[in-house]
């Protein structure tokens, strides 16, 4: 027991002696006491875990300063407003430059784009139509078109000849009938001869019509023009007029009970005209519908029909020749022939005027085809093409503008870094120009240190600096990017080896951080080499 008391007394004496010595030491050197207190505060406020070794400065006399790593905050805003329909990243996420951050509602813009696409398609169709019209006008008439026009002229000429023959026949028939009492046999012969002339004229018309149908078949294979449609409509009207005339002649014969050769001849003529009318109708329908395989076949059928008409015309000529032989025995029908001839004369004369007008139209069409479009017409078509192209360009610009707006509905990160703050959420309305995210740019960070005024001359802009952090056992290369122009007191969060009351200057050091290893808030030391 006594031994333990002795030991305790010795320990207390040693502690008291050490305290006395310390008091005498710090009283003699107050600066040492301040350093001791600063070291004790560093131990109580710092981490208790061991720190990794930091490489020391390699050159003596170098200026060393401490600070913390900082990153520049980038405010990310959207130039367009809209409702947020999808979020691709949030607060605390690390993103690279170009990564999508959020998506705004695109529904209204998609509807606008559909309308713009329809406008572009419509404008393109207008341009194609205008260009096609201009090309057709400047290229002039094609050979088969001129051939078709010439065929129409030949057909019209044949029709004129036929109708003139009909007039002649009607006049002769009337004179013959009026002289039938004096010379019945002679008048019957004259009528038969006139009938033969008519049949020959119809044969000529049928042959001309065959040429026209063949030209029309060639035109069908190449396609019809509006001028050709007008010609076919005129031909159809001509054929219908001829059919009405032939039917009128045949009806007068049957109504007057006149049979035999005149009735048979009139029926042949009506059948021939009916076939010509059907062929003209088929040609018009074919030209309107455009050429298909079936229509080409119909055109060929029309050719066959025209060939049949030629055969019918030939048969009519043969019948007329037979009628001439039988004219001497046809005295009993002289009175009916008088009435028929007198009725045919005015109708035939009217028909001559009709077919002469059709011939003039056909000749005018051929002249127009050969001359081609006028300079004024081409100028109008060129203006239409330019206008259509301008409308197309405007529609294309509108579509591209909408596409740009659609692309901008997706917000992308301008630089790589960490999203430090998210100011918008799913379903909210984002205001145009409003900040939606704050991003810390880690591609390039800054170390801010404070240098005493006495050492400021050892620092210059662009000066290389070696930077070390506790987290990595290596040296990072930096460069002085800013030197404060005004002194300040050392901030409270910075520990230096000098007294805190000294005036210092803030120095910013720029560090490349492509691998993002340096984080904001990391403490770091910077070594400035003298003479740099």
508: helix, strand or coil? strand
Predicted local confidence at residue 398, as pLDDT: 94
Write out pLDDT tens, residues 397-408.
Answer: 999 999 999 998
Closest listed residue to residue 202, CA positions, set 173, 230, 250, 169 = 169
**Distance of alpha carbon 163 from alpha carbon 169, whole angstroms:** 9
Alpha helices in 179-225 (DSSP H): 184-222
CA-to-CA dists, residue 230 to 104, 287, 362, 364, 388, angstroms? 59, 10, 10, 12, 28
Spans of the chain, pLDDT less than 70: 1-60, 140-142, 177-188, 219-220, 223-224, 290-291, 295, 328-341, 368-369, 371-372, 490-501, 530-532
Res 390: pLDDT:
96
- The confidence score (pLDDT) of residue 25 equals 47
**Residue 47 pLDDT:** 37
User: Could you give the 3-state DSSP secondary structure of residue 52?
Assistant: coil
Classify 427 as helix, strand or coil. Answer: coil
Question: Looking at residue 81, what is its pLDDT?
Answer: 83
DSSP 429-498: EEPTT-EEEEEEEEEEEEEEEEEEGGGGGG--TT-EEEEEETT-SS-EEEEEEEE-SS-EEPPTT---SS
> For residue range 117-143, what is the model confidence (pLDDT) as tens digits?
999 999 999 999 999 888 877 876 667
What is the structure's pLDDT at 24? Answer: 46
In this prediction, residue 348 carries a pLDDT of 78
Q: What is the predicted pLDDT for the residue at 484? A: 92
């Amino acid at each position: 027991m006594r031994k333990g008391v002795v030991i305790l007394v010795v320990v207390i004496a040693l502690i008291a002696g050490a305290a006395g010595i310390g008091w005498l030491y710090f009283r003699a050197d107050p600066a040492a006491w301040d350093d001791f207190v600063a070291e004790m505060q560093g131990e109580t406020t710092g981490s208790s875990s061991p720190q990794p070794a930091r490489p020391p400065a390699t050159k003596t006399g170098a200026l060393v300063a401490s600070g913390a790593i900082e990153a520049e905050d980038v405010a990310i805003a959207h130039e367009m407003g809209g409702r947020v329909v999808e979020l691709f990243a949030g607060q605390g996420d690390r993103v690279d430059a170009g990564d999508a951050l959020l998506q705004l509602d695109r529904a209204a813009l998609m509807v606008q784009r559909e309308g713009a696409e329809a406008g572009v398609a419509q404008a393109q169709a207008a341009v194609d139509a205008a260009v096609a019209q201009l090309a057709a006008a400047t290229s002039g008439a094609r050979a088969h078109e001129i051939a078709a026009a010439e065929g129409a002229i030949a057909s019209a000429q044949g029709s004129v000849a036929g109708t003139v023959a009909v007039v002649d026949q009607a006049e002769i028939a009337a004179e013959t009938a009026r002289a039938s009492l004096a010379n019945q046999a002679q008048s019957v012969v004259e009528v038969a001869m006139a009938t033969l002339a008519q049949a020959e004229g119809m044969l000529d018309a049928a042959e001309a019509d065959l040429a026209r149908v063949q030209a029309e078949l060639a035109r069908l294979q190449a396609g019809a023009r509006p001028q050709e449609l007008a010609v076919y409509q005129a031909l159809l009207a001509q054929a219908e007029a001829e059919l009405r005339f032939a039917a009128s002649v045949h009806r007068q014969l049957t109504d007057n009970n006149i049979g035999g050769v005149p009735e048979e001849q009139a029926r042949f003529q009506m059948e021939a005209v009916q076939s010509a009318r059907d062929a003209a109708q088929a040609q018009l329908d074919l030209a309107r519908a455009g050429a298909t395989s079936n229509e080409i076949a119909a055109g060929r059928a029309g050719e066959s029909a025209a060939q049949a008409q030629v055969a019918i015309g030939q048969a009519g000529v043969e019948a007329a020749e037979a009628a001439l032989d039988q004219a001497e025995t046809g005295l009993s029908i002289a009175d009916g022939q008088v009435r028929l001839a007198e009725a045919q004369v005015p109708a035939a004369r009217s028909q001559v005027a009709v077919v002469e007008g059709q011939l003039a139209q056909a000749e005018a069409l051929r002249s127009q085809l050969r001359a081609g479009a006028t300079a004024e017409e081409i100028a109008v078509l060129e203006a239409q093409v330019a206008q259509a192209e301008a409308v197309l360009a405007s529609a294309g610009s509108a579509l591209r503008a909408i596409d740009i707006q659609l692309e901008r509905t997706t917000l992308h990160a301008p630089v790589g870094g960490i999203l430090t703050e998210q100011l918008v959420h799913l379903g909210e309305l984002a205001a145009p120009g409003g900040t939606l995210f704050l991003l810390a740019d880690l591609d390039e960070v800054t170390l801010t240190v404070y240098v005493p005024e006495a050492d400021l001359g050892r620092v210059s802009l662009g000066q290389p600096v070696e930077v070390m952090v506790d987290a990595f056992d290596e040296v990072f290369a930096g460069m002085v990017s800013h030197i404060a122009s005004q002194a300040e007191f050392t901030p409270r969060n910075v520990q230096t080896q000098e007294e805190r009351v000294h005036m210092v200057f803030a120095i910013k050091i720029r560090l490349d951080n492509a691998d993002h290893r340096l984080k904001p808030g990391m403490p770091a030391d910077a070594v400035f080499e003298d003479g740099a």
